[in-house]
Chains A and B, each alone.
Chain A
Amino acid sequence: MKMNGAQIIWECLVREGVEVVFGITGGKVIPLYHELPGFPIRHITMRHEQAAAHAADGYARATGRVGVCVATSGPGATNLVTGIANAQMDSVPIVAITGQVASGELGTDAFQEVDITGITMPITKHNYLVTRASELAQALREAFHIARSGHPGAVLVDVTVDAQMGQCEFAYPERVNLPGYRPHTTGNIRQVTQAAEMINKAKRPVLMIGRGVIIARAQAELLELAEKAQIPVSTTLLGKSAIPESNPLCLGMGGMHGEAYANLALQQADLIIGIGTRFDDRFTSAAHTFAPQAKIIHVDIDPAEIAKRVRVDLPIVGDALNVLRELVPLVQEARHDEWLQVIEGWRADSREHSRHWEEGDALVPQYVIRSLCELTQGEAIMVSDVGQNQMWEAQYYIHNRFGGLISSGGLGTMGFALPASIGAQVGRPECAVWVVAGDGGLQMTIQELATIMQERLPVKIALLNNGYLGMVRQWQEFFFERNYCATPLLGPDFAKLAEAYGIAGITVCEKEQVGAALERAMQIEGPVLIDFRIEQEHNVFPMVPAGRPIHEMIRRPKQG
């Protein structure tokens, strides 16, 4: 069948199972958009390309499918860059399609020309520049395959405007032929057996779980392993919601702002089983100080992640689901009562440290998040931004829904949450989606309130408004002589701003108003923004100062 390039692009997307794309049109994608109405694909018109990439990212995390974003050449493409880097860092499968100037104009500094394949080379898993309609089908087929398989990531396909308009015979490539790309998905059985032996011998084991377990959808197998051998589970920020956090074996997040009992358990463990994690510096702090007494088993689909940062005693390259399925039957049932008791002691001590904010009258973020968690029973899809708000969410929202946390981990992109929530809500219309963001991050992509309104998405926004770029202010307080340089923010009246977009706005200044405001927000069918005017100089504890071992935390003060 003869088709033009634009039709081929949409046809390939349909065949890849794409139902929705997030994008903004522009000069060099007009031919592409011209053909869109002929295909069963929903288009969400964003207000900024960065937001389109974040929305595709949020969609991918919420659904486990490949997220797609579209932008025009030049500034449209460069605006995607932050979103692409964000997805790539967090192993999120997205495909970005950009328009490009006509092939004859390439390299001439034409209007809105930018070398986007060159620019995105270090922040994509792979990218393509397609200059002929006849090459589109193969490129897109490969792009989706590469994005979703192995260690997932971002792929960009840059399509010249003449390739979009060129006619050719369309044939969907049935298979991809990439001799240099064969992800290794099954663990070596000898190493898996050895891992089981190490687990069976361990006295103080800890599972360290990253987003790889969520990507592999290995939650049942993880839980089975943890319960069978009674192994406490600590997660990275992005590993949160891989295990129901109300499970007593769950220690929550470890690392720089991890719970003290999680960090102490890691530092005193004799065996750490890291699955689908890259032992990132926010978790381990200085690599040589991490888990000094432990042997380390590292399961990851990407061989390059193994021994990249920390020493590894037993590497297993494979998909978390496959490896866990092999591993669980080889692991003996065990009880580690003594070890768990030690951890419970630490946990009780941590509770003591939390008491002052629970009992105090101040409107503190912990109380907001905990109330939100109770009202949604830990079942909402939480989309957090970056900074203090993100850490409070991670510490106080007890995630019981698998994959219920969406957050920017590796890149730490402020402004991620609002557009990502659009993708999450579009992908999971049946779920309650809540944004937790600070006033700094929210304002970086606040234009997307318009998209929320236009698409009638019932996203709820909990704004933790402290009038500061709070995490940096906290660092200034502790390590830079309270020199609050460039951190105070004079913000707008956010409730009024929301109203201006046609979104319900609520302002909360007192602790006793929190419950009612949250309940009201849940009763309203459409989107709501609640501006919580929290304590301005409230800090995130525990905190591990940069470069210190993770057990050397600054704890929560027992008195406020």
Chain B
Amino acid sequence: MTCAKEYNNHSRRTLVVLMEDKPGVLSNVSNLFRRRNYNIESLTVGHSETPGISRMTVVVYASDAVLEQVSKQLYKLIHVTKVTDITDDDAVIRELALIRVHAISTNRAEIKQLVDIFRAQIIDVAHDSMTIEITGTEDKVDSLVEILRPFGIKELTRTGRVAMVRGSTTPNRG
């Protein structure tokens, strides 16, 4: 038995959405989330392995029933070709962040040490700042951000989650 509006069993779900690369399709998708009042945590989009097909990773905070509606409503968009919930699959999930942190000659070494521990990279150094690139799970990115915060974060950008199922099962074949 499924019921449409249950708000008790919310969880974070990761959807992979494949869509034809047509004008307006991205705003179509984001519009859908807004107007149906679905709660998006992150959304990333880029090319897939097939020319003309874009691949979006969406993280929503939703109950099973709402997630089912999200998925069905996405399918209703003419240019959406495939929607897969990979939350329970064995998937590789990564996020990239660029962090510009306040750094002067006295603390550069300390920052470098922390960056090394996280296997992140320093990609730019200026008189009063360093820019760090990190790729990893959201938790890992969160941790580095927290560690660096006391130095003074001047600028931060995160891509949001991108995901891919491990091994041979890829969402566009199903």
With an 8 A cutoff between CB atoms, is A12 at the interface? Answer: no
With an 8 A cutoff between CB atoms, is B69 at the interface? Answer: yes
Q: Is B2's CB under 8 angstroms from A312's CB?
A: yes
Docked Cα-Cα span, A117 to B31, in Å, equals: 12
Identify which of A43-51, A97-105, A177-185 touches chain B: A177-185
With an 8 A cutoff between CB atoms, is B167 at the interface? Answer: no
Q: Shortest Cβ distance from B52 into chain A, in angstroms?
A: 10
Q: Is B76's CB under 8 angstroms from A121's CB?
A: no
CB interface residues, B 1-32, toward A, < 8 Å? 1-5, 19-20, 23-24, 27-28, 31-32
The verdict on A307 contacting B68 (CB below 8 Å), with A180-B20, A180-B78, A181-B78 known, is: yes
Q: Is A180's CB under 8 angstroms from B79's CB?
A: yes
Q: Shortest Cβ distance from B172 into chain A, in angstroms?
A: 11
Q: Shortest Cβ distance from A98 into chain B, in angstroms?
A: 15
Interfacial chain A residues near B69, Cβ < 8 Å: 304, 308
CB interface residues, B 75-103, toward A, < 8 Å? 75-81
Q: Is A179's CB under 8 angstroms from B65's CB?
A: no
Docked Cα-Cα span, A157 to B107, in Å, equals: 60
With an 8 A cutoff between CB atoms, is A146 at the interface? Answer: yes
Q: Is B4's CB under 8 angstroms from A121's CB?
A: no
Q: Is A307's CB under 8 angstroms from B24's CB?
A: no
Q: Shortest Cβ distance from B62 into chain A, in angstroms?
A: 14
Q: Which residue of B lies closest to A309 (CB)?
A: B4
Interfacial chain B residues near A312, Cβ < 8 Å: 1-2
With an 8 A cutoff between CB atoms, is A223 at the interface? Answer: no
Which of A179, A303, A304, A308 contacts B20 (CB under 8 A)?
A179
Report how many residues on chain A are interfacial, defined by Cβ distance under 8 Å. 25
Q: Is A304's CB under 8 angstroms from B2's CB?
A: no
Question: What total of A-B pairs shows CB separation below 8 Å?
Answer: 56
Q: Is B78's CB under 8 angstroms from A126's CB?
A: yes
CB interface residues, A 30-82, toward B, < 8 Å? none
Q: Is A311's CB under 8 angstroms from B1's CB?
A: yes
Q: Is A307's CB under 8 angstroms from B4's CB?
A: yes
With an 8 A cutoff between CB atoms, is A129 at the interface? Answer: yes
Q: Is A302's CB under 8 angstroms from B76's CB?
A: yes
Docked Cα-Cα span, A129 to B23, in Å, equals: 9
Q: A297-321, CB under 8 A of B: which get 1 and which 0? A: 0000011100111111100000000
With an 8 A cutoff between CB atoms, is B127 at the interface? Answer: no
Interfacial chain B residues near A179, Cβ < 8 Å: 20, 81
Interfacial chain A residues near B72, Cβ < 8 Å: 303-304
With an 8 A cutoff between CB atoms, is B173 at the interface? Answer: no
Q: Is B4's CB under 8 angstroms from A178's CB?
A: no
A interface, CB within 8 angstroms of B = 117-118, 121-122, 125-127, 129, 146, 151, 178-181, 287, 302-304, 307-313
B interface, CB within 8 angstroms of A = 1-5, 19-20, 23-24, 27-28, 31-32, 35, 65, 68-69, 72-73, 75-81
**Which 6 residue pairs spanning A and B have beta carbons closest together?**
A304-B72, A180-B81, A307-B2, A126-B78, A311-B3, A181-B78
12 extra interface residue pairs, beta carbon distance < 8 Å, beyond A287-B4, A310-B4: A118-B27, A125-B78, A126-B78, A179-B81, A180-B19, A180-B20, A180-B77, A180-B78, A181-B78, A308-B4, A311-B3, A313-B1
Q: What are 25 contact pairs spanning A and B, CB under 8 A?
A: A117-B24, A118-B27, A126-B78, A127-B24, A129-B24, A178-B78, A179-B20, A179-B81, A180-B19, A180-B75, A180-B77, A180-B80, A181-B78, A287-B5, A304-B75, A304-B76, A307-B2, A307-B4, A307-B68, A308-B4, A309-B5, A310-B3, A311-B1, A311-B2, A313-B1
